[in-house]
Each structure stands twice: as C-alpha cells, then as structure tokens.
C-alpha cells in the first residue's frame, strides 16, 4: 500500500484520503478501492495499475476509454438516464489527463465507484443474466453511431481466432516448458475445428458484417447489477474496447455466463451450456440489439458462442504450454484446467447448436415486440 501514497497525490479526488483495500478479482490489472471522507460521507474510487505487458499501448487504451465513456455519458443523458450509474467516469489527474505515468514507468488510472450495485462471478439468478444481455445490448446500441475505425486496436487481432490458433501452433513447436506432449488430445480437438477459426474475421473482411465498437471481454462479472432492482446498470472493464464484431461480445457473454460451472472447473462432468440462461441472455440482448444487427450477424449469433469458447480454450492452452506468461494462475495446471473446461463446453455447444438457433429464431419471431428497442433505449 505504501506505493499508493505517491500515486494518489496526482489524481483529482474529492475529499480526504482515509485508506484503501486491494481488489483480488481479475486476471490482468492491479486494482485498489480508495476511500475518501467528504464531510459526513465516504466516497469510494477505483484505482488501477494498467498491466502494460498485456496492454502494450496503455495511452491508446486510455484514449479509447476516454472517447467511449464520453460518448456513452452523452447518450445516457440524452435518454434521461443517470450518467453517474449507467456509464463509467474517468477521474482526471490534476494535470487533466486520463492517466498518470509514475516514475517507475507504471500507468495508473482511476474511476468513480458505482454504489448500490455489485458484480457477480457467476450467474445466481436467471433474471440477472437477462439484464446482463440487455445491458451489453444497450452498450452496443448506444455506441452504434460511434466511428469504430477511429479507435486504437490496442491488442492487435485480439479476437482473430485464426491468429490465436497460429499462436498455439507456434508455442507447441517451441514448447518452452516441455508441456506439449501431455496435451495432445486437446491439441487434436482444436485442430479438428481449424476451418471454423476464420469465419468471423472473413465476414468482417468481406464487409458482410460491419465493424463496430465492441467491448471484447463481455464476461458476466463485467456488469454492475443494481442491488435493489436486479437490473444491469453499467458495463465495466473497458480496456479491450476496440473495433470488432458484435458477435465477439455476444459469444463471449454466453461462454462465460451460461456455463454450468466455473471457468476453471476441473470436474468436466459439471461443465455444460445452460439453455435457460442462454435464452435469458439472448432475450435481453436482442431486446436492445435487434434494431441494428444485420442479417449476417443474426445468422451467426449461435455460432459465435461456440467460436468464442473455442478461442478461449485455445488461449488458455497456449498460455499453459508457454509457461503461464499471460493469465494469472494459482497452481501449475490452472490454465490447463481452464482450457479443458472450455473445450468441454465447445462439445456441449455443438450438441445443442440446433436448439440454440431455434431459441434465437423463436425470440426474433414472436418473443419480442417490434418497438422493444425504442422503449428500452
């Protein structure tokens, strides 16, 4: 905590600093909750040290976040919403910048803490997942008129699954920790699906689906759920906001939130896709997104769920073979457990693909009224 003293002095926080807690959630950045006293009340802020080994262009990351949050807050105000709860607010430094670069070369940024709401690591209530879908759908809707091409691609080809497969093949060949021999079954499983890895990037390249502002890390725990209403109110963790496909966000949401087990579950018998949760999220998402998605995007919604899950399995397996250089691990086989859980989920999704497509068509055909988007927005 001692290093925080120098850092917080550079931000325009309100009140008198009284202490801090460490946030233990998340794989990438170091996060702290700060407490400030203003008269008879306490204000909380979120302070983060950006992992510049993962995000190699932290200034580009903050340029993106600044531009997107400014746009979101404007849109929330236009629809008579509450920008203090429905959009993140970057706390500027005393010099007016969106980040502070320390003498150690670290990049720090701060946000308001949204009170009266919380995040969940797993879906505990199907209604929460409906509202999660609605909130991510609204996030894309509010940004549907933002020029995506003006954003920095801060992690090159982040959701290019074909590239992720190439990364895996590269580390298999290098095999720096001698782990590849023990995961031949997982490697074979992935290679059997090689032809599917380029589907979305090829649709983007061909112009059949549009380039959009996308979150690119739409896990359920990146949604703030209101404590009283159970509704989703705000999308968090905007580090990976970049140009991309709406399909990335939809697919990754289902991958994480509609699984019956934790992302790192080692008992694969517990891992499957919960079709009830899939339905709830899809209902919420399409209530906001159906008005701007084109037909090719709609046609590939179910497929995107499988592809994003396969991509996550590829990424976890790559990191395991490479010696756990990217994701934080708690034990030597943590990334392998994650990879196996994702690949088991892919298998279950393949068995349920027809059901998933049918659910989407049912929702589009009669589960929502035509005016739902305007009413929600």
Cβ contact 316:244 at 8 Å:
no
Q: Give every CB contact of residue 13 below 8 A, 6+ residues apart in sequence.
A: 34, 36, 43, 45, 91, 110
Residue reference for tokens 């068995």: 351
DSSP for 291-360, please give it.
TT--HHHHHTHHHHHHHHHHHHHHHHHHHHHTTS-SS--SSTTHHHHHHHHHHHHHHHHHHTHHHHHHHH
Q: What pLDDT, on a 0 to 100 scale, did the predictor assign at position 30? A: 85
Pair 242, 158: CB distance under 8 Å: yes
Q: Which domains does the chain have, with CATH numbers?
A: 4-115 (3.30.200.20), 126-376 (3.90.1200.10)
Q: How far apart are CA 279 and CA 362, in angstroms?
A: 10
Buried/exposed code over 51-85 (b: 16+ C-beta within 10 A; e: otherwise): bbebbeebbbbbbbbbbbbebbbebbeeeebebeb
Q: Is 128:202 a contact under the CB 8 Å cutoff?
A: no
Q: One digit per residue, pLDDT tens: the chain, 377 residues?
A: 567 888 999 999 999 999 999 886 665 678 999 999 999 899 999 999 998 877 889 999 999 999 999 999 999 999 999 999 999 999 999 999 999 999 889 999 999 999 999 998 888 889 999 999 999 999 999 999 999 999 999 888 999 999 999 999 999 999 999 999 999 999 999 999 999 999 999 999 999 999 999 999 998 889 999 999 989 999 999 999 999 999 999 999 999 999 999 999 999 999 999 999 999 999 999 999 999 999 999 999 999 999 999 999 999 999 999 999 988 899 999 999 999 999 999 999 999 999 999 999 999 997 444 333 333 43
Burial of 201 (0-12, 13-18, 19+ CB in 10 A): middle
Q: Per DSSP, which regions of the chain are E strands?
A: 16-23, 30-38, 41-50, 90-91, 100-101, 107-112, 117-118, 212-214, 223-226, 232-235, 242-244
Nearest in space to 11 (alpha carbons), one of 45, 42, 41: 45
Q: What Å distances lie between residue 6 and 104, 108, 129, CA to CA?
A: 11, 11, 40
Which residue has tokens 């994003």? 308
The torsion defined by the Cα of 305, 360, 354 and 311, in degrees rounded to 10, comes to -10
Sign of CA dihedral 128, 131, 135, 137: positive
Measured in whole angstroms, the distance separating CA 88 from the mean position of its chain's CA atoms is 15
pTM of the predicted model, to two decimals? 0.87
Cα 316 → chain centroid? 16
Asked if 34 and 49 count as a contact pair (C-beta separation under 8 A), the reply is no
């Amino acid at each position: 905590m001692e290093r925080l003293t120098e850092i917080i002095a550079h931000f325009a926080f309100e009140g008198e600093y009284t202490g801090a807690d460490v946030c233990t959630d998340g794989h990438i950045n170091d996060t702290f909750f700060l407490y400030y006293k203003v008269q008879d009340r306490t204000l909380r802020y979120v302070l983060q040290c950006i992992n510049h080994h993962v995000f190699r262009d932290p200034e580009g990351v903050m340029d993106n976040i600044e531009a997107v949050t400014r746009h979101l807050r404007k849109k929330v105000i236009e629809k008579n919403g509450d920008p203090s709860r429905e959009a993140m607010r970057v706390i500027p430094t005393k010099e007016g910048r969106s980040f502070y670069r320390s003498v150690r070369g670290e990049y720090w940024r701060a946000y308001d803490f949204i009170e009266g709401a919380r995040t969940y690591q797993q879906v505990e209530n199907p209604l929460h997942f409906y509202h999660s879908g609605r909130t991510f759908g609204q996030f894309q809707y509010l940004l549907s008129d933002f020029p995506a091409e003006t954003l920095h691609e801060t992690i090159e080809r982040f959701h290019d699954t074909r590239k992720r497969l190439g990364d895996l093949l590269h580390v298999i060949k290098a095999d720096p920790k001698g782990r590849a021999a023990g995961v031949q079954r997982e490697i074979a499983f992935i290679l059997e699906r090689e032809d599917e890895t380029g589907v979305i990037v090829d649709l983007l390249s061909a112009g059949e689906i549009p380039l959009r502002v996308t979150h690119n890390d739409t896990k359920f725990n990146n949604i703030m759920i209101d404590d009283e209403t159970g509704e989703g109110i705000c999308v968090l963790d905007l580090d990976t906001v970049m140009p991309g496909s709406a399909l990335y966000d939809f697919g990754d949401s289902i991958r994480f939130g509609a699984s019956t087990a934790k992302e790192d579950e080692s008992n694969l018998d517990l891992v499957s896709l919960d079709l009830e949760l899939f339905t709830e999220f899809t209902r919420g998402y399409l209530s906001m997104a159906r008005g701007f998605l084109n037909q090719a995007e709609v046609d590939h919604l179910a497929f995107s769920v499988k592809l994003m899950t396969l991509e996550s399995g590829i990424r976890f397996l790559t990191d395991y073979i490479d010696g756990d250089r990217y994701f934080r691990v708690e034990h030597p086989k943590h990334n392998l457990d994650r990879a196996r859980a994702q690949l088991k989920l892919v298998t279950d999704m393949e068995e349920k693909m027809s059901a998933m497509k049918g659910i989407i068509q049912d929702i589009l055909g009669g589960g929502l009224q035509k005016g739902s988007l305007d009413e929600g927005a």
